[in-house]
Amino acid sequence: MSLTLLTRKRKIGRLILQILILGLVCGAGRSFGDVPDMTKSYYVPQAGTMTTPLTGIDALRNFRLCPNNDGTQSLPNSARIKVVIRNGFGSGISGIQRADIVALFNGGTRAQGFDYLGADSIIANSQWNPGCPDVFLPGGTSRGLAADGPTDVDGVAYLTFTGATVGDPGVGVRDPNRKWGHYDSLIPVFVLGFALQGRLTETSPQGSFALEIKNLDSVGGLATVINQGEQVNALDIAPVQAAVSHGTYKFWQDFDWDGVVSSADLNLVKAHNSHNCSFPRNP
């Protein structure tokens, strides 16, 4: 079993009781037709246009970012997930608000004082990284990314990572408050407190995809040290250079998701050297 898969399974095991309790609480008072059925609801990776979207591995090639969220190489091509929410009858649930459809972050590591339901190795806080935004959800308490808008008549919503175009779900526009460092083997996606499973494509089985976003900032920032997270520097470049030189493969350094760590990946991280929350774009 790969380290990534083992870590993911441990995270799922640790969260499952909390998830069940949260889901039951949030589902209380809703009719059967309004309660998401987790065997029929899912999310799927997408990128590109809304009319002919890329899915599967073709979409995942766009699932990478620079902690500055700075341009065409970072979360390109409107990288997003499509979220489909259905009830026990298999019908879409419309009108679920965007704040109730979230990809959840903790904001930092347990060592830094962050221990919640979200991705615990994504760094998205100003406490240890002054000058960086706290990537808050609507309401300003929990951290993460909210959907672009509510579910439509078919129970479909989109969550575009770089930021959403108002009134045009699934079309990305840079949000300067969406900056974060590092990566995590599982970014849990919730609807109304229920944990969704992913599918690699619309026709893939439940659980065939778990949300992961690679980061050009892949080293450092996890400890209780000021200003070590949310930046790309020599510490991030060196292991990619070594992997290219030695012909070794590291999943988190394969930024274009092509199955090898090559000069293309090295060129990507080098192009973002010295990038942080305030450079090259501020905010």
Please write the tens of the pLDDT for every residue from 204-250.
Answer: 999 999 999 999 999 999 999 999 999 999 999 999 999 999 999 99
**Secondary structure class of 250 (helix, strand, coil):** coil
Interatomic CA distance for residues 11 and 120, integer angstroms: 9
pTM of the model: 0.90
Q: Is 205 exposed, middle or buried (0-12, 13-18, 19+ CB in 10 A)?
A: exposed
Q: Which residues pair with 54 in a beta bridge?
A: 47
Q: 123-160, pLDDT tens digit by residue?
A: 999 999 999 999 999 999 999 999 999 999 999 999 99
pLDDT tens readout for residues 74-108: 999 999 999 999 999 999 999 999 999 999 999 99
Task: Give the CA distances from residue 28 to residues 42, 94, 191, 262, 271, in Å, rounded to whole numbers and listed in that order.
Answer: 21, 18, 14, 50, 49
pLDDT in tens, 103-126: 999 999 999 999 999 999 999 999
Distances (CA, A) of 253 to 94, 209, 275: 39, 19, 17
pLDDT, the chain, mean: 92
Mean pLDDT calculated for residue range 53-69: 98
Residue 220's region, left for phi above 0, alpha for psi from -120 to 50, else beta, is left
Q: How many CB atoms lie within 10 A of CB 255?
A: 25
The structural domains of the chain, with segments of one domain joined by +, span 3-215
Q: How many CB atoms lie under 10 A from the CB of residue 219? A: 21
Closest CA to 271 of 214, 216, 213: 216
Give 18-64 as a DSSP string. Answer: HHHHHHHHHHTT--GGGS--TTT-EEEEEES-SSS-EEHHHHHTT-E
> Comparing C-alpha atoms, which of 173, 183, 259, 245 is closest to residue 214?
183
User: Confidence band (pLDDT; 50, 70, 90) for 41?
Assistant: very high
Residue 22 has pLDDT above 80, yes or no: no
Q: Which conformational region is residue 7 in: left (phi greater than 0), alpha (psi within -120 to 50 degrees), or beta? A: alpha
**If residue 102 lies in a helix (H) or strand (E), which one and from where to where?**
strand 101-107
